[in-house]
Chains A and B, each alone.
Chain A
Amino acid sequence: MIEKLKKYVDDLFEDAPATKKARELKDELLANLIEKYNDLISAGKGEEEAYNIVVAGIGDLNELISNLKEGNVLSPEQEYKERKRSAKFIAAAVMLYILSIVPVILKGNVALMFVFVAVATGILIYSNASKPRYFKEDETLVEEFKEWKSRKSRKNYLKNSIISAMWTLIVAIYLVVSFAFGIWAYSWIIFIIGAALSQVVKAVFELKEDE
């Protein structure tokens, strides 16, 4: 009869998502039902009667089971907050990149330009590193995929930040060096070096991903 009870609970959870939460609820329910059934048998009830009493006492689990399907780690509210936060960081970083040319134009101060660029890149990296990650809720494939996707988009974000910062810097160096020394005929070569460097950055990220 306990087998029949197990079968009944299995059927109840047929449409439930294959998550840890659902499995736990099922285990919990079954443990309690079996104990109730055994108590009823000890109290002198017949097997059939005890089974019927136990099943009748369960009630409507549909709502509870359908609630298991919902629930994300990042709620829409958190996501909105996070988007606002990273927008501020990116805006600040871009502003610094643009302003980095100003000391060069005004005073020919290249060192200060590098400081601006370094701070801006630092902000981008910090903004990325402090982003809340998606942690899988349980061991299902869907959750694993979500975590993998979140990890991948973080990496892409970092890669794109570095490459765009690098190009800004290259343009700045090109202009400064060309104006300062008047070597327009040769200084364009920096763009070819830049293209090569950006390939190197991409390759480094891909290699890290393969590990």
Chain B
Amino acid sequence: MSIASDIIRGHTDAIILRHLIERDSYGYEINKSILEKTNNEYELKEATLYTAFRRLEQAGCITSYWGDESTGARRRYYSITPAGRETYMRNRFDWEKAKTLIDKLIL
């Protein structure tokens, strides 16, 4: 599991962007969907998640805004920008290429 989670952590940005392509979202929701998609096998640390948000925001891949929840704490939503979509496509291409190469080398 530890090698797998190292590899996954290297693709945090792509994972977040992939989620935001569907709809605007906030930290916990993204993490919850990661947990669901991996059958509770993988979850991002909050620190990793927010570091990635800041990095993506600075790179112009995502923008953020505060939700208007009437009760409880306010959520900070993120939405993807056209530059973010481009970055996602590039990451996806890189991953597919790496996957084929690693398959050839290991299997």
Contacts and interface: CB of A to CB of B under 8 A. Distances in A.
A is bound by B = yes
Interface of A: 24-25, 27-36, 39, 57-61, 63-64, 67
Interface in B46-90: 46-48, 50-51, 54, 72-76
The 4 A-B residue pairs whose C-beta atoms are closest, nearest first, are A59-B45, A31-B73, A59-B47, A32-B28
A57 B45 contact: yes
A64 B47 contact: yes
Contacts of A24: 76
A28 B75 CA distance: 6
A174 to B, nearest CB: 58
17 contacts: A27-B74, A28-B26, A28-B50, A28-B76, A29-B46, A30-B73, A31-B28, A31-B73, A31-B76, A32-B27, A34-B73, A36-B28, A36-B32, A57-B45, A59-B48, A60-B45, A61-B50
B51 A33 contact: no
Interface of B: 26-28, 31-32, 43, 45-48, 50-51, 54, 72-76
B6 to A, nearest CB: 14
Contacts of A57: 43, 45-46
Contacts of B48: 59
Contact of A31 (B43, B45, B75): B75
B86 to A, nearest CB: 25
A172 to B, nearest CB: 53
Contacts of A27: 73-74, 76
A64 B73 contact: no
B46 A31 contact: no
B47 A32 contact: no
A35 B45 contact: no
B72 A58 contact: no
